[in-house]
Structure 1
Amino acid sequence: MAELEDKYFKGDLTVEELRELRRQVNATDDDTLGEAMRHRWMDGDLAEDDYTVATRPIWQRIETATRTAGHDWRRRAWKWMQAAAVFLVPVLFFSTYWFYRQEAVSPTGVAIFRTDAGGRATLVLPDGTSVVLNERSRLSYSPAEFNGTSRRVSFEGEAFFSVAKDSLHPFSIRADGLDVRVVGTRFNLFARKGVALSRLSLEEGKVLFTSLASHRQTAVWPGQVAVLDKQTGRISVEQKPEEVNDATAWQRNELVFRNATLRHVIAVMETTYSVKFRFSGRLNMDDIFTGTLPSNNLGEGLEIIRHSYHVRAEQRNGVVTITK
């Protein structure tokens, strides 16, 4: 694969060779891929001028080849992407996302990765940083700027970041109303537009968490959870190791509740399962629930609710009726 990488950066790859490079990337495990990216990053082979020179002729050849080769190949690729339920391409050294330029790269040349409802995806950035995107999330960065001296991404949604260590080049995340700056660490970040609170749960390392509204900056340590009120700019930090573990429950297909009202549980279930709940009979919506529901199986979730509250639950046409 190294020979194909070198040819890529020299602008000498044919379309078939680029396809072969993408195939090898897909077949390579994350650890090996991350290590290769780290070496390429540290060797300084991703200079902006080299990147621009290399990608222009390659993209022109890809544009010509995909126009003349018909639609079969792109249709197969599109079916694969639909099955994965994500708009995501495995990435190596700013390279193969050009294959799906229309799906993954904006007209301004910004690399964009996003997941739809129910989707999830893992990507490895050029510096070796691993990001697991939860559903309805979006991460973007400028390949020309993410070039060995800067590690900045924009983000919206929820994701778990395993940031590659590089003390000389801190990794920064810009999200709605906040900025996160780290050197090497592991954390979960929830930062959705339209949601009043953003939350960072730190598993390992150290994070500088900044409110863009108040310009307040707070250090976050392992086992701590930082919560930002985007309206006031206030940041609160608490030592909650159990919540740090709960924050990554979505990766295990779990919905974890601790002393939550039934009203809150139902609201989360409606969003997660894309259903509506109706109630018949007297049911106390302020009852407290502590437990775990599967995020990918409505039937199992309803079974737990049935046994916990001694109710009947029937589902029809996207509506769940709960009868006491």
Structure 2
Amino acid sequence: MSIDTHSNAANDFPQSGMERFDFLMTRYLAGDASDPEKEELRRLTENGYEFRFQEWLDAHSDEDPAETTLPGKAREEILTNILGTTRPQAKRATMWWSWAAAVLLALGGFMWLTLRSSQTAEMNITRNDQPSRQDETQVVRGKQFLTLPDGSTVLMNEDAELTYSPASFRNGSRDVTLHGEAYFDIAHDPAKPFRVKSGTVVTRVLGTAFNVNMQENKVVVTVTRGLVEVGSTERVYAKIKPDEQITVNTRTEQYNTASVSATEETAWKDAYLVLDNIDLEKAGQLIGEHYGVKLAFSRAEVKKCRITASFMHHENLETVLTVLSKMIGATYTIDNGHVSIEGGSCD
């Protein structure tokens, strides 16, 4: 049996998820959304629910999205009334992305697609914040994949909360505060140690990969690469290496270390599919491993296109392939576990 991209991609999402998206979108545009609801909506739009915009806009606009982009006047009104700023200049994309981008801008969030080969072509659609807002302390919650100002990446588990200051990063202090569980891959910088504060426990590194899990009365740190120093603000408890783990009792400050399988201890992150600035050939391998299929590209040159995307809500294969195909202007078919990506380009 073959499946093609002419089916409605939005219908691939769990119905409860689509209903939640519609509810949050309606509350936001009505001005009734709370801060947690805004954050939840931002997370949905950044992690796979972009395609719900097409259906939502079709149902809530008098314009025909097959023929025109969102009217410029309406776009300006959105940005003026909601963002209080002028519309940033962006490269013209297809009509579909123009409509989706207008709503993303109205949400005060961002959407980015990147395709890189020997020549880089980028479309960035971002909120034009005031300079003072760029330095505000950032609080990120829930399932997220984010890149910090120094290039370090963080994969956050459910119920996690990460706090950091972009201004502090620029001034040489790479400090974050974590509640819950997250996996860190830290950009190496010998002159600027990276510190994760979890209650009274401080994890200090220069450039490595490790998992921090802050639970009630204890913090567990597991290392997958490099050397990690764990302690408090007053003293160092231990330095741990790959496949080692330290558990700290935050009430008594007692701790113990153990040899573990870091792969098994961090298996939670394998449920998420993160494609972080990689070429399509590598992306195809990861998608194939994740969903148990084999991907083939009809055009060899598109294998060199570089993309960034993350799927954090157990999206099915069709949804992932639809996103991938839209990014490079391709189509796809699925036949007995074999996926064929037809056409596309890095431009």
Normalised TM-score (structure 2):
0.42
Q: TM-score, normalised by structure 1?
A: 0.45
Structure with the bigger RCO (C-alpha within 8 Å, sep 6+) is 2
